[in-house]
Amino acid sequence: MTHSELNDIARRWLLRAESGRGPGCKIALNEVGAVGDSERADAWGYRWGYHGGSVLVEVKVSRSDFLRDKHKPHRQAGGLGDYRYYMCPEGIINIADLPDRWGLLWVNKRGHVKLMAGHICCLVGNSWGGNRDLACFWAHDSDKDAERGLLSYLLHRVGDPDALLQEQRSYLRESHQQATKINELEKQRREDSHTIYRLRRKLEAAGIDMPETRPANMLGF
């Protein structure tokens, strides 16, 4: 499994609900980093609301790559992610190898994610108490300025979010109007078909033969 494929699996996992053993992020992105910052996340997501915060997933396809990771400057202090996970093919990294407060995700050959360690373990199956309060012990002191810079840069690339929202609403209204018109035309078509059928039966009852109906292209139009 390639690094790029695992990145995409990591992004999808970030969006997975708690009930599916995921962090329930509202947004998730691949290969992103703040402008001017040395860190570039393989996958990063954010969840707002109750138990909100950012989640980082670092993908490793070899053990040597994992061992080099701890020497990066943003691993010493700061960095992205209130909660952090390594993701790797099954067996490359073990729980005993993990740095303090890092979680672990294994991916098998079929692309299925297995939660091995991390704050999500405290949330699964304990919606109203249990070990949920222990999740905070997995939290890191993330670089909030870098994360704000990342989000601001992404918004800048997208453009004016309010203008995009208005444009989306306009498309939705137009789509709804078109769907309504199509439904009305379909209803009229059915009514016309019933009318033609009733007229044909009356003509047949009166002994009047009707010509066979043929497609327009067979009539030379």
> How far is 45 from 83, CA to CA, in rounded Å?
10
> How far is 25 from 43, CA to CA, in rounded Å?
12
Residues 153 and 63 both lie in one domain: yes
pTM score: 0.70
**Amino acid letter for position 191:** E
Residues 81 and 151 both lie in one domain: yes
Contact 105, 116 (CB under 8 A): yes
Domain range enclosing 132 = 3-158
**Domain count for the chain:** 2
Residues 147 and 178 both lie in one domain: no
pLDDT of 46: 93
What integer best gives the mean pLDDT of the chain? 85
> How far is 54 from 23, CA to CA, in rounded Å?
9
Residues 66 and 28 both lie in one domain: yes
* Local structure of 192: helix, strand or coil: helix
Per-residue pLDDT band at 36 (split at 50, 70, 90): low
pLDDT of 210: 65
Asked whether residue 206 is assigned to any structural domain, the reply reads: yes
pLDDT of 214: 52
Looking at per-residue pLDDT, the higher value among 87 and 40 belongs to 87
Contact 44, 140 (CB under 8 A): no
Asked whether residue 215 is assigned to any structural domain, the reply reads: no
Please name the helix (run of DSSP H) or strand (run of DSSP E) that holds residue 45, with its range, or none.
Answer: strand 41-47
Please give the average per-residue pLDDT across 203-218, as a whole number: 66
Residues 204 and 103 both lie in one domain: no
Contact 29, 7 (CB under 8 A): no
Looking at per-residue pLDDT, the higher value among 216 and 174 belongs to 174
Burial 150-159 (b: 16+ CB within 10 A, else e): bbebeeeeee
Per-residue pLDDT band at 221 (split at 50, 70, 90): very low
Residues 181 and 154 both lie in one domain: no
Per-residue pLDDT band at 10 (split at 50, 70, 90): very high
Asked whether residue 220 is assigned to any structural domain, the reply reads: no
In tens, the pLDDT along 120-164 reads 988 776 544 557 778 889 999 988 888 888 888 787 777 776 776
Residues 53 and 144 both lie in one domain: yes
Residues 68 and 135 both lie in one domain: yes
Q: Measured between alpha carbons, how far apart are the two ends of the chain, in Å?
A: 57
